[in-house]
Amino acid sequence: MIRISYNRLLSFTYKIFKKIKLNEFSAKTVSQGICEASLRGVDSHGIKLFPHYVKSSVLGRKNPDPKFKFYKKFESAYLLDANHGFGLAAGAMAIDKGIQVAKKKGICMIGVKNSSHPGALASIAIKAAKKGFIAFAFTHADSLQLTYGGTESFFGTNPICFVAPRFKKEPFCLDMATTKISWNKLLNFQRQKKKLPDNVAASQKGKITNNPNIAKSLLSIGDYKGYGLASMIEILCSIFLGMNFGKNIPPMFQSSMSKKRKLGQFYIVLRSDAFVKKNYFFKNLDKMYSEIKKQKKRKNKNIYLPNDKEVIASKERSKKGIPVDKILYEQIIKISNKYKINL
């Protein structure tokens, strides 16, 4: 395992994205998004995606220089046509718009159509929390989640993210797939030739497997309930926005790199002082944290709230660097050599 500093990775990925003709906004937000995810310990959606993002842009799936356009539907409702640009860039623009409108109106919902993979939603939504807003973020994905009671997949990993601000502290941030692991995490197990944990994936006929090489679908969190959450997110990100759903979405890794995926994203941004004063909100959120952390721990266990583990990882990796496995490092070096930009 090789460790590379966050700043070095950020500078390198930004320069490569500029070299392959991403516009300034896209190059900046995409490099920040994947590097921040790795810094926070979310390796499945971090620098691991860099080679794929480069390839999908060069081969035409993603538009490196999209013409983003907002359509005002109602006073607090906007639709962003992402013009098949990078999902991270489209999400960043959507959340900026949401903050701008919610500041005046108290609330804003933003739908994003004609998008591509948006990386880790926390990398997009956490900006709202750092500016004092509450936010929800949703996206859907290609068919990888085993249908509850079935033998095939239909919905994707369909993640949900919720963020809330804290006073002079890292925000509350829940960012999770509605499957027990993400597909990118499964690919990490495959690449590193490791067995999967129990009860996270299934083979061709819906049979539970620990072998990442024969896994074809992922199991829902909370069984029927997690599957229900995935269906809710699918409605918000596809049918609500006029995008593809279920098996109609081209697979991220197995479909042609020149084929547009037409993914949707959906955001809701709220003022944290919409119903109570901001100081009251901060004070009581801190009180909730304090009361939870004071509870009795189980033996050899710590009490964690969402984002606690990511903050710990961020502090450690800021000092020691971001870990990159040998296979990924070799892929990065090939890109470095091809475009003559040193890592």
**Inter-residue long-range contacts of 270-275, CB under 8 Å, 24+ positions, other chains counted:** 270/102, 270/106, 270/107, 270/133, 270/134, 270/135, 271/102, 271/103, 271/106, 271/107, 271/132, 271/133, 271/134, 272/132, 272/133, 272/134, 272/164, 272/165, 274/106, 274/107
Between the CA of residue 155 and those of 126, 192, 241, 256, what are the distances in Å?
A: 25, 27, 16, 20
**Which residues, at least 6 apart from 26, have a Cβ–Cβ distance to it below 8 Å?**
17, 64, 65, 66, 85, 86, 89
286: in domain: no
262: in domain: yes
Q: What is the CATH number of the domain that holds 197?
A: 3.30.1370.60
pLDDT at position 96 = 98
155: in domain: yes
pLDDT at position 188 = 84
Give burial (CB, 10 Å; 0-12/13-18/19+) of 162. buried
pLDDT at position 45 = 94
298: in domain: no
Rounded Cα distance between 106 and 275, Å, is 10
pLDDT at position 34 = 98
> Using the 8-state DSSP alphabet, how is residue 46 labeled?
T
Q: State which residues form the domain around 92.
A: 2-275+325-339
> Using the 8-state DSSP alphabet, how is residue 246 labeled?
G
284: tokens are 């009581």
| Number of domains comprising the chain | 1
Between the CA of residue 157 and those of 85, 120, 139, 268, what are the distances in Å?
A: 21, 12, 9, 20
**Which residues, at least 6 apart from 171, have a Cβ–Cβ distance to it below 8 Å?**
126, 129, 130, 163, 164, 165, 307
| pTM score, whole prediction | 0.95
Rounded Cα distance between 151 and 129, Å, is 40
243: tokens are 């995008």
309: in domain: no
281: in domain: no
285: in domain: no
Rg, C-alpha atoms of the chain: 20
Cβ distance 214 to 203 under 8 Å?
Answer: yes
pLDDT at position 54 = 97
61: in domain: yes
Residue-wise pLDDT tens for the chain (343 aa)? 899 999 999 999 999 999 999 999 999 999 999 999 999 999 999 999 999 999 999 999 999 999 999 999 999 999 999 999 999 999 999 999 999 999 999 999 999 999 999 999 999 999 999 999 999 999 999 999 999 999 999 999 999 999 999 999 999 999 999 999 988 889 889 888 899 999 999 998 899 999 999 999 999 999 999 999 999 999 999 999 999 999 999 998 889 999 999 999 999 999 999 999 999 999 999 999 999 999 999 999 999 999 999 999 999 999 999 999 999 999 999 999 999 999 9
- Listed residue (100, 92, 99) closest to 124, CA to CA: 92
